[in-house]
Each structure stands twice: as structure tokens, then as C-alpha cells.
Amino acid sequence: MKLLILGGTKFLGRHLVEAALGRGDEVTLFNRGHHNPEIFPEVEKLRGDRDGGLDVLRGRRWDAVVDTSGYLPRVVRASAEFLADAAEFYAFVSSMSVYADFSRPNDEDSPLATLDDETVEGVTGETYGALKALCERAVEEVMTGRVLSVRAGLIVGPYDSTGRFTYWTERVARGGEVLAPAPPERQVQLVDARDLSEWILRMADGRRGGVFNASGPDYTLTMQALLEACREASGGDARFTWVAEQFLLEKGVQPWGDIPLWIPEASDKRCFLAENCERAWAAGLRFRPLVETARDTLAWQAAGSPGFEKEALVAHEQPLTPEREEELLREWHDSHHAPSRP
């Protein structure tokens, strides 16, 4: 397959390129060359800014395009219009954040987030999901019936720049007493970037379009099972202390930011990691064992996290420092074991 990847040098994009090359696909990358420009020397690289700089793509043809770097509807629409006659199929990497309501599990037909002003181009935590939904709409309007919209959940694995899953692999590997947000049976969802990449390529092979919630695994994964997989992967001695969410909230601990993957049961976003992904599973999305993902992520971290893009970290998402974690654990034990007052 002749494949054009818009992006391709950061997290998911790198895995897509590696998977495509492993299959023998002919890959072209189009990006600005700002991130890891030295990787994939064997791949054709076209440089340009997709916001007004698409001319370098003129006169070329590909079997499929995978768009890993689309965030603004205006820019994504321009890319789709430019490539509509140059490619048979367009796979757009969207986000599970497109939904309007996370107080219940969403399927692909659930209401989407909206913006009062659809011309807004500031990407923030408040606008991100709605902008991705508008990007999906733009591509489908241009290339109707030839689009795969991949509503990816939490993507994990080597090259992960978010610090979310990697916080847990590193923290559990460090061992000792680990603060874990109760309840241990809380559901979480994630997908290894390699599994997602391979599935996107298979879908492109078959020109299979549509909208898919793309996360997993295809069973109910609990927070406890995730941490135990991290411990097995590290071979360490971590022990988990499950701290009540009300205690954490009273201490000013920020869900998701201070403790990655923690969404309180009382939150209106409590189902963000519990969405209905059965359509993607039925379409062949498969998942490697979580311990394998954790082990490979740890190996990447141990090697110094090559390719890690520090600027990709969200400013307000700064996980607990060891000192803060120790302080919270001490206060939890003191309050938990203190004699009841008359």
C-alpha cells in the first residue's frame, strides 16, 4: 500500500510508520520537520506546513492517507480537499473526547460536544473535543464514504509523551508503598499505540470507513489489574495503598492531573475510560497483554525515553512528586488509624 502520513514522527505516528514499514508498505511523511527529523531515513519526507503549505503534495497519488496531526477543522478540511483526488481513503485520528457527556458510557451514535462559535481555533481542554468532532465532520463532508474516524481513547506505549500511563509504570517500578486511588475495581481503558496502528492499517487496506471508538481491552480492565500488570512487568516489590477519593479531593489532589487515570466516581466525566468500543472490536481491533505494554514502556523509559517530547506535556498535568505522595500517605494512615472521637 502506498501510504501518506500527515505527521509521523511523534508518538502514534512513529508506531504507524514502523508498522507500515514492517508490512512492506511504501510510506511518505508530510510534516514540518520540527520533531525527530532524523528518524526513518529510508522513508520519503516531504516538508511543509499543512496550514497553507500543501503544494509539495501536488501531483502525487497514494492509496491511503493517515492524519495523525489534525486539530483545527479549517486546516483538516483543507487537507482533505487537497487530497480528495490524490488518495482513495482517509483515516483521521480523532479522540474519545468528542462526546458531550461522560456521565454514562458513549457509543458512536452518542451526542457530540459542540462550540457556540465554530470558528474558534484555540485548542484547550474545553475546546479540544468539539474541535475534533468538527474535524471529523469536515473530512466526511469532503470525502464522503471514504473516511475512517478513529476515536482513540488513552493511547499508551513507548514514545508516550503525555506522562499518564508512564507515570504508573515508572512509579510502580520504583517500588515501595504506592498511593493508588480507590476503589481498586474502577474501570480504566487504554490501547497500545502499536495495536491501534496495526488496526488502522488493516482498516485502510480494506478501505473500511466509518466511526469507531478505538480503545480497550476487550474485557473490563480495573485500576488494580493495571497496577498489578505494571508490577509484574517491573518485577518489583510495589505495594498498593488504596486511598479514598473523598480524602484525596479534600487534600486538593487534582484528578487526572495529579494522579493520572484517576476520575472520581462523583465526577461528571466518570465514564471517560469506560466507553463502548464493541464496534472496533468487531472490526478486528486486538490487544496485546497489558504486561507486555508495560514491560516495553519501562524498557523505553530505562533507555532514557528517546524521542520524548517534553513540550507535549499538558501544563496543568503534573503528577504527584515523591514528596507529596509520601505526605499524603502519611496523612491517610494517620487519619485512617486515628481513634474515633466521642
Taking only the tens place, the pLDDT of each residue in 42-74 is: 999 999 999 999 999 999 999 999 999 999 999
CB-based contacts of 218, cutoff 8 Å, min separation 6: 277, 281, 285, 286, 287
Asked if 112 and 254 sit in the same domain, the reply is no
Q: Is residue 342 part of a domain?
A: no
Cα three-residue angle 19-2-58, rounded to 5 degrees: 125
Residue 46, H or E segment: strand 44-47
The sign of the torsion formed by the CA atoms of 38, 39, 44, 49 equals negative
Q: Is residue 139 part of a domain?
A: yes
Instruction: Give the pLDDT of residue 339.
Output: 43
Asked if 212 and 259 sit in the same domain, the reply is no
Return the bridge partners of 26, or none.
2
CATH code at position 152: 3.40.50.720
Which of 217, 233, 254 is at the close of a domain? 217
Q: In terms of residue numbers, what domain contains 134?
A: 2-157+190-217
Instruction: Give the pLDDT of residue 317.
Output: 67
Cis peptide before 105 (omega within 30 of 0): no
Residues of the chain with pLDDT under 70: 307-317, 337-342
Q: Is residue 307 part of a domain?
A: yes
Asked if 135 and 185 sit in the same domain, the reply is no
pLDDT 10s digits, 75-84: 999 999 999 9
CATH code at position 252: 3.90.25
Instruction: Give the pLDDT of residue 309.
Output: 58
Spatial separation of the C-alpha atoms in residues 42 and 177, rounded to whole Å: 46
Asked if 318 and 253 sit in the same domain, the reply is yes
CB-based contacts of 264, cutoff 8 Å, min separation 6: 245, 249, 255, 270
Number of domains in the chain: 2
Cis peptide before 181 (omega within 30 of 0): no
Asked if 317 and 182 sit in the same domain, the reply is yes
- Measure the N-to-C terminal CA separation of the chain; round to a whole number of Å: 74
Instruction: Give the pLDDT of residue 235.
Output: 97
Query: Grid coordinates representing 94?
Result: 480523532
Query: Grid coordinates representing 181?
Result: 486511588
DSSP classification of residue 59: T
CB-based contacts of 117, cutoff 8 Å, min separation 6: none
